Amino acid sequence: VRNSLFLILLSSFTLSSFAKSCPNIRLDKNFPNNNPKNEAKYKTMQHAPVLNQSLGICYAYTATQMADAVRRKRQLERGKSTNIHISSPLFAAVNDWENWDENGVTLDNNGDLDFPVEGGFPCQTFNKLKEDKTCPRDKLEKFYTSKGYNEKQFFKKIYEVEEKFNKKRMELAIKYMKERELESIHEKYETKVDNTFVSQVSLGLPYESNSANNEYLEVQSCRAGYKNELYNDLQLIFNNLLPAKELFLSYFSLEMFDSPYNMNILFRFICPSKERIAINTKSECTDYKVSESHIPFFDSLTDEIIDQLEEDSLPVGISYCANVLKRGKNFKGIASSDITGHKYKQKDGKDDCGRHASIVIGSREKNGSCELLIRNSWGTSCSTYSNDFDCEQGNIWIPQDVLQNNLYRIHYL
Amino acid sequence: VKSLLLSAIFISTIVQAKTIQVKINEIQLLVSKNCKTSKCDAIKELKKMDLKVAQEMEQNLLGGKTLGEEICRKLFKVEIERHRDNQKNEQNYCHFKDKSFISTAEINKFIYDQIYPDRH
């Protein structure tokens, strides 16, 4: 009996010594009537609005909200009143062009637009913004709203104009080749000299072909720095394709718009470097995966989130199964899914996770359990969410263990 | 605090002034006031929505896009408008040609309450 008592005492001591505390923290505002007292050092999310994403760029919303909070923290540390600077998530998504779908803006089988920027990684986008600076949201919005577009219509217009531009450019390229008695080359490459080739050559860039077909070899010789006569001639004429450029001038009043990453260039033109705002931090954004072995024993990813909130007063990015928010506390997105890389799928192959990224901006103890406050980017309405969770204008309190069952990455500075 | 509270009340009053509660398939939803009779486009579209199609669409959502947005754009084929209050908080609404509207979150509620009846 004595031994068992000792074991029970020892195990309870061990567990309690490892058990994490649950501080009452809110980065956005104080608790109602300041009860409990807010333990946050700085309210770095104060006055930061609840956003409503439209495109599938949750990763960019996560990255820009983290960037804006860093800036507010610097102001608070210096005792200044905080400016409400809102960075453009759309600029952040387009700026992270390495994340783009290589096909660019395309139409799906139903004729709907596929957006090349949907789906991504918060830290990658944040770190790219750290290099290139953020664009004020108003700046980009003013540009397309002044032309009567919302962001989706803006993408669609870019797509349409790009199509017209490419068509015109192809017509001119073929006309030019025929005039210069290059028919034999045209005949040889009739199906091969495509938009990508013309686009790349017009910029003097190497032609990136996905095909290993030998017929491409001659064209691909441009890649090795060898510019043949055709290449040089085409480059010359493409640089003076005024009729095609006029199409763009008429829509966007811009001249620079003919590269493979033209949307990126367009956005940088609208929001030039001198008008962008630096993220003044030396820290890189780092990802931690649920399977990462460096997480200390007994220290879960959600414990790490709480530590970060307590230490840095900065929001922590999370990648998680957002289906939990709709389906309630018993939903286990991770446990019920097969993990393959970034993808979490059910055994029948259907995604039953609802991969999403948001930020965590608070923690509290409620009825003996710890809850984390997710600031989502689905607007202020609470109608989407299960009644299992307390929801305040688009901010959702979720029990720590429930989030742990649905969390696959965290992102912090 | 008072001014924040007042502005919150003011905004909710505006939204309430523009919306009414209706019951469709036993689900309470907020829709625009011009849906007093069930003839408005918002209600018509909701009633004829195929839940199986909606469920399939949910499987393919990328980057945290919401089902309500996707339904509005691809099934209803109408525009989404982003409304901002004076604190710059946002909520997206699906706007129909007859000027009726419903928030994308209410569309989510309409679907999820039916396909996940035990979601509380």
Mean pLDDT of B92-113: 96
> Which of A:78-97 have CB within 8 Å of B?
84, 86
Mean pLDDT of A286-305: 72
* Residue A149 distance to chain B (closest CA, Å): 11
Comparing CB atoms, the residue among A61, A118, A386 nearest residue B120 is A386
* Residue B84 distance to chain A (closest CA, Å): 9
Mean pLDDT of B29-43: 91
The answer to whether A53 contacts B65, with C-beta atoms less than 8 Å apart, is yes
> Which of A:379-398 have CB within 8 Å of B?
379-384, 386-388, 393-394
User: Which pLDDT belongs to residue A99?
Assistant: 78
What is the spatial distance between Cα B65 and Cα A153, in angstroms, rounded to a whole number?
16
With bands split at pLDDT 50, 70 and 90, how would you rate the model's confidence at A165? low
User: Which pLDDT belongs to residue A21?
Assistant: 87
Residue A254 phi/psi, 5-degree rounding, is -130, 145
The answer to whether A56 contacts B90, with C-beta atoms less than 8 Å apart, is no
Q: Which of A56, A226, A251, A241 has its CA nearest to residue A158?
A: A251
Instruction: Evaluate if residue A243 carries a pLDDT over 70.
Output: no
Mean pLDDT estimate for chain B: 86
**Neighboring chain A residues of B104 at a CB cutoff of 8 Å:** 52, 379
Can the peptide bond before residue A36 be classed as cis, meaning omega within 30 degrees of 0? yes
The SS3 call for residue B51 is helix
What is the spatial distance between Cα A75 and Cα A240, in angstroms, rounded to a whole number?
49
- Reported pTM: 0.80
The answer to whether B119 contacts A393, with C-beta atoms less than 8 Å apart, is no
The CA distances from residue A406 to A195, A321, A389, A400, A403, in Å, are 43, 5, 15, 10, 5
Element (H, E) at B28: strand B27-32
Instruction: Evaluate if residue A29 carries a pLDDT over 80.
Output: yes
**Neighboring chain B residues of A47 at a CB cutoff of 8 Å:** 87
Place of tokens 């567990």: A15
Whether the CB of B26 is below 8 Å from some CB of chain A: the reply is no
Length of chain A: 413
Instruction: Evaluate if residue B1 carries a pLDDT over 50.
Output: no
Q: Which residue of chain A comes nearest to B64, CA vs CA?
A: A356
Using an 8 Å Cβ cutoff, are A201 and A259 in contact?
A: no
User: Which pLDDT belongs to residue A271?
Assistant: 87
**Neighboring chain B residues of A377 at a CB cutoff of 8 Å:** 64
Element (H, E) at B80: strand B79-84
Mean pLDDT of A26-44: 96
Question: Which tops the pLDDT comparison, A142 or A148?
Answer: A142
What is the spatial distance between Cα A141 and Cα A151, in angstroms, rounded to a whole number?
8
Q: Which of B29, B28, B25 has its CA nearest to residue B51?
A: B25
The answer to whether A150 contacts B81, with C-beta atoms less than 8 Å apart, is yes
With bands split at pLDDT 50, 70 and 90, how would you rate the model's confidence at A280? confident
- In angstroms and rounded to an integer, the radius of gyration of the C-alpha atoms of chain B is 15
Q: How many CB pairs under 8 A join A and B?
A: 114
Question: Which tops the pLDDT comparison, A243 or A332?
Answer: A332
Comparing CB atoms, the residue among A119, A327, A381 nearest residue B103 is A381
ipTM (interface predicted TM): 0.88
With bands split at pLDDT 50, 70 and 90, how would you rate the model's confidence at A222? very low
The answer to whether A56 contacts B92, with C-beta atoms less than 8 Å apart, is no
Q: Which residue of chain A comes nearest to B115, CA vs CA?
A: A327
Q: Which residue of chain B comes nearest to A385, CA vs CA?
A: B109
Q: Which of A281, A375, A361, A282 has its CA nearest to residue A315?
A: A361
User: Which pLDDT belongs to residue A188?
Assistant: 46
Q: CA A243 from chain center: how many Å? A: 36
* HEC secondary structure over chain A: CHHHHHHHHHHHHHHHHHCCCCCCEECCCCCHHHCCCCCCCCCCCCCCCCCECCCCCHHHHHHHHHHHHHHHHHHHHCCCCCCCCCECHHHHHHHCHHHCCCCCCEECCCCCEECCCCCCCHHHHHHHHHHHCECEHHHHHHHHHCCCCCHHHHHHHHHHHHHHHHHHHHHHHHHHHHHCCCHHHHHHHCCCCCHHHHHHHHCCCCCCCCCCCHHHHHHHHHHHCCCCHHHHHHHHHHCCCHHHHHHHHHHHCCCCCCCCCHHHHHHHHHCCHHHCECCCCCCCCEEEECCCCCCCCCCCHHHHHHHHHHHHCCCEEEEEECHHHHHCCCCCCCCCCEEECCEEECCCCCECCCEEEEEEEEEEEECCEEEEEEECCECCCCCCCCCCCEEECCEEEEEHHHHHCCEEEEEEC
Comparing CB atoms, the residue among B61, B79, B90 nearest residue A56 is B61
User: Which pLDDT belongs to residue A176?
Assistant: 61
The answer to whether B106 contacts A383, with C-beta atoms less than 8 Å apart, is yes
The answer to whether A379 contacts B64, with C-beta atoms less than 8 Å apart, is no
Comparing CB atoms, the residue among B82, B108, B119 nearest residue A383 is B108
Comparing CB atoms, the residue among A118, A328, A387 nearest residue B62 is A118
Comparing CB atoms, the residue among B63, B92, B112 nearest residue A379 is B92
Q: Which of A278, A272, A199 has its CA nearest to residue A234?
A: A199
Whether the CB of A53 is below 8 Å from some CB of chain B: the reply is yes
What is the spatial distance between Cα A285 and Cα A64, in angstroms, rounded to a whole number?
12
Q: Which of A93, A85, A23 has its CA nearest to residue A58?
A: A93
With left for phi above 0 and alpha for psi between -120 and 50, is residue B2 left, alpha or beta?
alpha
The SS3 call for residue B21 is strand
Element (H, E) at B90: strand B90-95
Instruction: Evaluate if residue A298 carries a pLDDT over 70.
Output: no
Share of chain A above pLDDT 90, in %: 44
**Neighboring chain B residues of A148 at a CB cutoff of 8 Å:** none
* Residue B50 distance to chain A (closest CA, Å): 17
Lowest mean pLDDT among A347-351, B10-14, B26-30: B10-14
